[in-house]
Amino acid sequence: MQDSALKNKTCLSGLSETELISLAEKMQWPSYKGKQLHSWIYKKWVSSFDEMTDFSTKDRNYLKENYYLSPLTLTQKQESKDKTIKYLWKLKNNNLVESVRMFLEEHESYSACISSQAGCAVGCPFCATGAIGFKSNLKANEIVDQILGIQRDTKERIQNIVFMGQGEPLLNYNEVVKAIHLIKDSVSIGARRITVSTSGIAPQIKKLADEKLQITLAVSLHAPDQKTREVLVPISKKYKMNELLESLHYYYEKTKRRITIEYVMLEDINDEPEQAKELADLIKTLHCHINLIPYNPTETSRELKRPPMNKVYKFKEIVEKRSGKKVTIRHERGVDIDAACGQLANSFKS
């Protein structure tokens, strides 16, 4: 739909059931019609008002004149050999963001990797989104509608959500928390199946802990020492290692949810056995597991390299033995379409 056609219209995607009920009442409709709207949007993933067959033609016309269903326009879609699908969406402000749908063999279910911002201000040197810089914060409905948009397209239910697309979720805190509530209550994906990945915005981690959501927190640590971390995650100059670790312990105390430590492995930068030992000692008392992510080369960071896999295995073994924690190595998906989480952004630019 043309943007001009949407002027003065309200978007329905992103409204809660309560909001849809009061919207129905405002139109002097019985409140159950609000519930029906909620169900068409979030459970049946309709793309048009005409699909709402329990509304009369008159009601549907009224809805068409005053409302629209999605704040996103699908601009491009790519499917990889392993069935991973990458979507490019255009926002109302014309910025582009991406989402990826993956099949998780171990759970026999679909997972969506979604964006919370267009671009990102944190500027990690290995990340394609970081190379773009910050463009804009997504609204809660633009976050949630990525999931609905994927379900509308595939007609298959998504059961896991990871905030590992573009952006730093905790720098768009309010809209992300609002989106999490909608994902739980309206999209009906349980909090335990939602993971927020952050570069380590310590004060916001504490704030999130106080929300007492049962979501999983993943933290992009990437280095066991302050000096290396400052190179890999520039915002760590502001939120230092000690403060970050303190916030992680706090998160666990408040939520009793085990934390995921993410560690992108880069050759000759953070892959040495000494660093594995240091990492193990650093996180020994934290309730966490460690996810090693072999670096996915991006066009914007050609000088960086992925370590040989035997070095990754060695690193895993050291951390595992010394810390007693579970260590996993992230399995890549959609490599042929650059769909790996965190490196979505640049590949669509022509």
Give the active site residues: 98, 341
Q: Please name which of 101, 134, 131 lies closest in space to residue 343, comparing C-alpha atoms.
A: 131
Window 177-216: contact mask with ligand SF4 (x via CB under 6 A): ----------------------x-----------------
> Which residue of this chain has its Cβ atom nearest to ligand SAH in the complex?
342
Q: Which tokens belong to 54?
A: 């329990």
Q: Which of residues 144-183 bind ligand SF4 (CB under 6 A)?
A: 167-168
Q: CA–CA separation, 152 vs 173, rounded Å?
A: 27
Dihedral angle of Cα 175, 178, 184, 186, to the nearest 10 degrees: -100
Binding ligand SAH by CB under 6 A: which of 241, 293, 312, 345?
293
Counting contacts by CB under 6 A, is residue 270 touching ligand SAH? no
Q: Please name which of 248, 329, 333 lies closest in space to residue 284, comparing C-alpha atoms.
A: 248
- Are 193 and 159 a contacting pair, CB within 8 Å? yes
Binding-site partner at residue 123 among ligand SAH, ligand SF4, none, CB < 5 to 8 Å by type? ligand SF4
In 75-172, where does DSSP find H-type helix? 128-132, 140-154
Number of residues that bind ligand SAH (CB under 6 A): 18
Q: Which tokens belong to 327?
A: 């260590």
Binding ligand SAH by CB under 6 A: which of 46, 127, 182, 205?
127
Q: Please name which of 198, 187, 197, 196 lies closest in space to residue 159, comparing C-alpha atoms.
A: 187
Binding ligand SF4 by CB under 6 A: which of 96, 100, 114, 120?
120
Counting contacts by CB under 6 A, is residue 97 touching ligand SAH? no
Counting contacts by CB under 6 A, is residue 123 touching ligand SF4? yes
Binding ligand SF4 by CB under 6 A: which of 13, 334, 342, 344?
342
Residue 14: which residues within 8 A CB-CB, separation 6 or more? 71, 139, 140, 141, 142, 144, 145, 182
CB of 95 to ligand SF4, least distance (A): 15
Q: Please name which of 147, 140, 143, 116 lies closest in space to residue 129, comparing C-alpha atoms.
A: 116
Binding ligand SF4 by CB under 6 A: which of 20, 23, 37, 122?
122
Binding-site partner at residue 298 among ligand SAH, ligand SF4, none, CB < 5 to 8 Å by type? ligand SAH
Counting contacts by CB under 6 A, is residue 141 touching ligand SF4? no
Q: CA–CA separation, 218 vs 204, rounded Å?
A: 13
Which residue, 34 or 342, is less far from ligand SAH as judged by CB?
Answer: 342
Q: CA–CA separation, 151 vs 71, rounded Å?
A: 15
CB of 128 to ligand SF4, least distance (A): 8
Binding ligand SAH by CB under 6 A: which of 145, 168, 278, 338?
168
In 159-217, where does DSSP find H-type helix? 173-185, 202-210
Which segment (51-59, 195-203, 236-244, 310-318) binds ligand SAH by CB under 6 A?
A: 195-203
Binding-site partner at residue 251 among ligand SF4, ligand SAH, none, CB < 5 to 8 Å by type? none
Half-sphere exposure of 129 (CA within 13 A, CB side): 31
Counting contacts by CB under 6 A, is residue 84 touching ligand SAH? no
| CA pseudo-torsion sign 133, 135, 136, 142 | negative
Counting contacts by CB under 6 A, is residue 164 touching ligand SAH? yes
Binding residues for ligand SF4, rule: CB under 6 A, are 120, 122-124, 127, 129-130, 167-168, 199, 220, 342
Binding residues for ligand SAH, rule: CB under 6 A, are 120, 126-127, 164, 168, 197-199, 220, 262, 264, 293, 295-296, 298, 341-343
